[in-house]
Amino acid sequence: MIYSNEISDALDKFHSYIARNIAACKDHPAAKVSAFWSEHFADRTNFPDVRDFLVFRRGDYVYGIGDTVPGSPERKQQEFAMTLRSIGLFTPGAHLQALREPIVGSPLVYTLGENQLSTSYLLNAGTSWRVTELLRQHGLSDRPLRICEIGAGWGACASQLHQVCEVDSYTIVDLPENLCLSSTYLTTTMPGRQSTFIECDSASGAQGKLNFALPPAIDHLDGPFDVIINTMSFQEMDRETVDTYFAWAGRTLAPDGLLISFNAHDKAGILRPSDYLRKDLEICHLMPFRKVPAGYFNTIPYESVFRRTNTDTDAHQLISSAVDALGEMVQLGLDGDLAPLSRRALVEREQAALILLTRIRDFFYAPDEKVRQTTLARLLQESPCALTLFLGGNYWFAQGCFELACKLLEGSLEQGLQDFAATRARVMLACQQNKMSDAKFVETLAGRAGGLDEDISRIVSARDISALQNHIARIYDCPVTTPVRSAGLVGSVFARLRGSLLNN
């Protein structure tokens, strides 16, 4: 337990730093406050006292920073269990068992093996696990690391990475309202790490092993960094702010360093996945961040890995199209089925994979439904597989062609469709096959998507087809209609396709 005197000392240092540097945030492009955070910061101050900080960590709040509604102990217990099920789908138990949460304030904690963790600390374990795995996969896990985290929340991921990685130095760049939380939490729980606040207006002196900086100070940070991390805040920024950080990363990463991004698109300034791309940063990985979303209809973030490059490749347009296709397919719940295609396109730069993903991108971004349907028909004829059958099944489900949609979805499952995409296919089929009264079926279905039991049970029990259609239409940016059959190319192609499928 950390008592108020340590917190008070940490806050005093933060207050002094903010008083000297807050004015620099006014016009700096990296310091713009997004609409998302403006709402959450509305009742916060740059100058909290000890009581404010302890209230942030009190036990009747479900989450950390963004939480505004108290929850009952029963609700807190349920939230922990649901979070554990969701995180456990992609985070090994050994990683969770290796973590020890330093307690500040009085959050509710729950027993996990030999550990006691709060829900918010557990929620960050998925991030720390994926960072360590990506570092291992790219050959950076065998040395002391210089890490920079842009937007560190209250410091939970930083705390965990210090436990599971060899950290040389850790630098956090954040807006003042959140920097007060991470700096106070980490300096009080890691007193042995020399901590420094980085000034905005000039190069600072010697920087410590634990550094805190407002956004205007980024050009005064001691680089190069082996890894730069951002979790769920690039997606909330406007395009200029994201470009500012990516340009800085291109200048600041070590030659073999990585920029690791856990974000989505179409929430603020980044409208398409390819909006993250820059010519001085090469993308070499894009896959879903988590196995299931926070809610059945929620946006699914994806993990992207970038590294420095000096090569102006001729394949830039194909890579851009591939990234768009991969990022959009993640939103449907595709995961394991994407892995080989993503690797072939972004690592091996295989031409066939890039062309297939370009056609899938053309399907997602078609200018009208006739073009979209023609593109889909070609995909299904030339590249029939679990992935394309699933794409087609979703589209025709949104269009109200349920017989064809179900045949395509059943075909995708027969072809071995995996992960949350398979759960979504089964949910759509269940709503059409009148299985909402089969309690065992619903229980089994919900059990495949840890933490989403209530969502799935509600959808299937209510046979909420319109909600499923609207969700698909939002991803595809298409209308929810019943298509009019025509004697044209689209009608004839799909008549042949439909006949073939129904006869198999």
Quickly list DSSP for 96-142.
HHH--PPPBSB---EEETTEEE-HHHHHTHHHHHHHHHHHHHTT-TT
Q: Say yes or no to pLDDT of 480 above 80.
A: yes
Q: Note whether 285 and 337 are same-domain residues.
A: yes
Name the percent of the chain lying above pLDDT 90: 64
CA 57 – CA 178 distance, rounded (Å): 13
Reported as type and span, the H/E element at residue 381 is helix 369-382
**pLDDT of the residue at 221:** 94
Residue with tokens 């028909």: 377
pLDDT tens-digit series, residues 223-249 = 899 999 999 999 999 999 999 999 999
Arithmetic mean of pLDDT, 418-424? 94
Q: Note whether 458 and 381 are same-domain residues.
A: yes
DSSP conformational letter for 332: T
In this structure, what are the phi and psi dihedrals at residue 195, rounded to the nearest 5 degrees? -110, 145
Task: Specify whether the CB–CB gap between 174 and 245 falls below 8 A.
Answer: no
Helical H runs in 287-368?
316-330, 339-346, 351-364
| pTM given for the model | 0.91
pLDDT tens-digit series, residues 13-59 = 999 999 999 999 988 999 988 887 777 666 666 566 666 666 666 55
**pLDDT of the residue at 439:** 65
Q: Note whether 443 and 351 are same-domain residues.
A: no
Strand extents, DSSP E, 246-350: 253-263, 281-288, 302-308
Q: Note whether 373 and 263 are same-domain residues.
A: no
Name the percent of the chain lying above pLDDT 70: 84
Q: Is residue 409 part of a domain?
A: yes
How far apart are the two ends of the chain, measured CA to CA in Å?
65
Name the domain count of the chain.
2
Question: Quick one: 100 exposed, middle or buried, by C-beta within 10 A (0-12, 13-18, 19+)?
Answer: middle
Q: Say yes or no to pLDDT of 488 above 80.
A: no
Encoding tokens for residue 474? 């939002």
- Least-confidence region, from 49-53, 165-169, 248-252, 256-260: 49-53
Arithmetic mean of pLDDT, 453-482? 89
pLDDT band at 465 (very low <50, low <70, confident <90, very high): very high
pLDDT tens-digit series, residues 288-315 = 998 889 899 999 999 999 999 866 556 7
Cis peptide, bond prior to residue 215, ω within 30 of zero: no
Q: Is residue 459 part of a domain?
A: yes
Mean confidence (pLDDT) of the chain: 87
Task: Specify whether the CB–CB gap between 196 and 210 falls below 8 A.
Answer: yes
List the one residue out of 378, 411, 416, 371 whose CA is nearest residue 394: 411
Arithmetic mean of pLDDT, 358-375? 97
CA 185 – CA 65 distance, rounded (Å): 13
Arithmetic mean of pLDDT, 80-87? 89
Q: Per residue in 21-30, is it b (16+ CB within 10 Å) or e — as a string?
A: bbebbeebbb
Q: Note whether 190 and 278 are same-domain residues.
A: yes
CA 294 – CA 291 distance, rounded (Å): 10
Arithmetic mean of pLDDT, 382-398? 97
Question: Which of 328, 361, 394 is a domain's end point?
Answer: 361
Task: Specify whether the CB–CB gap between 403 and 377 falls below 8 A.
Answer: no
Name the packing angle between helices 316-330 and 351-364 (round to 10°). 60
Q: Note whether 324 and 176 are same-domain residues.
A: yes
**pLDDT of the residue at 496:** 53
Q: Note whether 15 and 136 are same-domain residues.
A: yes
Q: Note whether 415 and 286 are same-domain residues.
A: no
pLDDT band at 490 (very low <50, low <70, confident <90, very high): very low
Q: Say yes or no to pLDDT of 69 above 70.
A: no
Q: For position 13, which CATH number holds?
A: 3.40.50.150
In this structure, what are the phi and psi dihedrals at residue 423, rounded to the nearest 5 degrees? -60, -45
- Least-confidence region, from 57-61, 105-109, 146-150, 278-282: 57-61
Q: Note whether 304 and 273 are same-domain residues.
A: yes
Question: Which of 309, 326, 361 is a domain's end point?
Answer: 361
Question: Which of 330, 361, 392 is a domain's end point?
Answer: 361
Question: Quick one: 205 exposed, middle or buried, by C-beta within 10 A (0-12, 13-18, 19+)?
Answer: exposed
Task: Specify whether the CB–CB gap between 95 and 157 falls below 8 A.
Answer: no
pLDDT tens-digit series, residues 84-93 = 988 998 999 9
pLDDT tens-digit series, residues 180-233 = 989 999 999 999 999 999 999 876 667 889 999 999 999 899 889 999 999 999
**pLDDT of the residue at 45:** 60
Q: Is residue 330 part of a domain?
A: yes
Cα separations in angstroms, 157 against 87, 130, 227, 246, 249: 14, 11, 14, 21, 20
Q: Is residue 268 part of a domain?
A: yes
Task: Specify whether the CB–CB gap between 456 and 423 falls below 8 A.
Answer: yes
- Domain extent, residue 333, equals 4-37+124-361
Q: Is residue 118 part of a domain?
A: no
**pLDDT of the residue at 489:** 43
Q: Note whether 378 and 305 are same-domain residues.
A: no
Q: Say yes or no to pLDDT of 270 above 60.
A: yes
Q: Which residues share a beta bridge with 259?
A: 228, 306
Reported as type and span, the H/E element at residue 156 is helix 156-164
Q: Is residue 52 part of a domain?
A: no
User: Which amino acid is residue 392, in one-letter code?
Assistant: G
Q: Say yes or no to pLDDT of 258 above 90.
A: yes
3-state secondary structure (DSSP) of residue 74? helix
Q: Is residue 159 part of a domain?
A: yes
Q: Note whether 294 and 334 are same-domain residues.
A: yes
CA 458 – CA 144 distance, rounded (Å): 48
Q: Note whether 393 and 436 are same-domain residues.
A: yes
Q: Is residue 482 part of a domain?
A: yes
